[in-house]
């Protein structure tokens, strides 16, 4: 809901509205303030439905109360709502990795598409950590288009991630595909990844919302921003506040790349949400030659991080080798990314 204060409302009157809102919601609400046409507008977001609008409407200094409860009230604002309702950016802390995604630091998550074997995973982790990546990516459970393709190393892969995390001290992000395995994933991972194909797997989203581990929610390849916010809402409404959005390319008529990287969505998210957003240039382009330029563009456009596929020998990678950077190319890219990050007031190291 939006409370529009009269143009000459005092600070005390605003404080009284905030007090009544807190009393009504029992603390389970979020408030933000913005100025609109000379009026203070108080946005009050609740997950409950039994809010007594009358009590707020009767407060001194209140000109109008608008019912703006959107279908994704925690994830972002609907387009018709006043801009700047979510001016604050809420970073997601990853304690083991010692970083906050969505803070001043630009965070890179890198590793193979799939967890294949311990030796390659260890080599990759050491190398990307040395280059400045804060988390190792790698799917143990792989969502594959064909049931005959390699489906991942499953629980063995999770165990390899656990060993590598403990040995090298790098954080880990890995995908959960089913509600039944999400707890096992969450025991190992610092971030649970929900893949593009599962963006609207509602039982999975709900289960992710019950975990205490942060969740990276990839955009469905044909999803609008509104559908993406609504998917994030399932996780947030279940009680997990730590959601990171990840743009990974959408389906368009273009044939020159695997998907079309929607860079403009970074700006749209920034206007309408406080959730951090990172970019996956590997799946978006499907071509290792396009990954460096799209990575740099993402930093410049205000993304909070990158999810990049890299492997000691992409030619023998079991999945997505064609879009995977060799470790040396990844190292060089990190140096360039740092320069772009500094130019836009962020830092990589
Ligand atoms: C992945 O990152 O491993 C992956 C499968 O990506 P997406 O869900 O974006 O296709
Ligand atoms: Mn992949």
Q: What is the mean pLDDT of residues 148-169?
A: 98
pTM of the complete model: 0.87
Residue nearest to atom 10 of ligand 1 (CA): 196
User: From the CA of 143, which ligand is nearest?
Assistant: 1
Q: What is the mean pLDDT of residues 130-134?
A: 98
pLDDT digits over 330-346, tens only? 999 999 999 999 999 99
Instruction: Using a pLDDT cut of 90, give the percent of the chain over it.
Output: 77
- Nearest CA-CA partner of 276 in 298, 297, 295, 261: 298
Q: Looking at the CA of residue 246, tell me the nearest atom of ligand 1.
A: 9
Residue 68 is predicted with a pLDDT of: 65
| DSSP conformation class of 336 | H
Residue 27 is predicted with a pLDDT of: 65
| Cβ proximity of 150 and 192 under 8 Å | no
Residue 87 has pLDDT above 50, yes or no: no
State the pairing for strand pair 305-311/277-279: parallel
Strand boundaries in the chain, DSSP class E: 2-5, 29-36, 39-46, 62-66, 92-94, 99-101, 107-111, 135-137, 171-175, 191-194, 215-218, 243-247, 277-279, 305-311, 325-326
Residue 341 is predicted with a pLDDT of: 97
Residue 237 has pLDDT above 60, yes or no: yes
What separation in Å is there between the alpha carbon of 288 and the centre of ligand 2? 12
Residue nearest to atom 4 of ligand 1 (CA): 195
Q: Which residue has the higher pLDDT, 177 or 21?
A: 177
Ligand 1 pocket residues where CB is under 6 Å: 113, 139, 143, 175, 195-197, 218, 248, 280, 283
What does the block give as tokens for 132? 């400045």
| Cβ proximity of 122 and 168 under 8 Å | yes
pLDDT digits over 103-128, tens only? 999 999 999 999 999 999 999 999 99
- The radius of gyration of the chain's CA atoms, rounded to the nearest angstrom, is 21
CA distance 85 to 83: 6
* Polymer length in residues for the chain: 349
CA distance 88 to 230: 20
User: From the CA of 278, which ligand is nearest?
Assistant: 1
pLDDT digits over 53-85, tens only? 788 989 999 998 887 667 887 898 777 665 555
Q: Looking at the CA of residue 219, tell me the nearest atom of ligand 1.
A: 9
Q: What is the mean pLDDT of residues 318-330?
A: 98
Residue nearest to atom 9 of ligand 1 (CA): 196
Which segment, 77-81, 236-240, 252-256, is predicted with the most confidence on average? 252-256
């Amino acid at each position: 809901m939006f409370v529009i204060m009269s143009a000459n409302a005092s600070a005390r009157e605003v404080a009284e509205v905030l007090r009544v809102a807190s009393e009504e919601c029992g603390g389970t609400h979020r408030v933000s303030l913005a100025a609109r046409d000379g009026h203070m507008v108080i946005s009050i977001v609740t997950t409950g439905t039994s809010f007594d609008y009358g009590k707020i409407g009767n407060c001194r200094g209140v000109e109008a109360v608008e019912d703006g409860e959107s279908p994704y009230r925690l994830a972002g604002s609907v387009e018709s709502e006043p801009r700047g309702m979510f001016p604050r950016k809420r970073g997601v802390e990853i304690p083991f990795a010692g970083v906050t995604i969505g803070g001043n630091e630009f965070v890179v998550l890198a590793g193979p598409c799939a967890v294949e074997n311990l030796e390659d995973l260890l080599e990759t982790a050491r190398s990307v950590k040395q280059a400045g990546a804060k988390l190792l990516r790698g799917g143990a459970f792989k969502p594959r288009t064909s049931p005959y393709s390699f489906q991942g190393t499953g629980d063995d892969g999770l165990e390899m991630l656990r060993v590598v995390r403990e040995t090298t001290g790098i954080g880990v992000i890995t995908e959960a595909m089913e509600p039944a395995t999400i707890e096992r994933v969450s025991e190992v991972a610092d971030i649970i990844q929900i893949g593009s194909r599962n963006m609207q797997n509602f039982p999975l989203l709900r289960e992710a919302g019950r975990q205490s581990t942060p969740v990276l929610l990839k955009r469905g390849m044909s999803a609008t921003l509104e559908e993406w916010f609504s998917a994030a809402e399932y996780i947030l409404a279940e009680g997990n506040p730590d959601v990171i959005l990840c743009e990974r390319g959408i389906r368009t008529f273009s044939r020159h790349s695997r998907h079309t990287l929607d860079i403009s969505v970074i700006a749209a998210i920034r206007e309408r949400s406080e959730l951090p957003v990172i970019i996956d240039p590997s799946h978006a382009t499907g071509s290792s030659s396009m990954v460096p330029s799209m990575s740099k563009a993402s930093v410049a456009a205000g993304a909070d991080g990158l999810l990049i596929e890299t492997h000691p020998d992409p030619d023998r990678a079991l999945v997505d080798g064609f879009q995977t950077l060799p470790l040396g190319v990844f190292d060089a890219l990190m140096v360039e990314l740092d320069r772009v990050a500094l130019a836009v007031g962020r830092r990589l190291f």
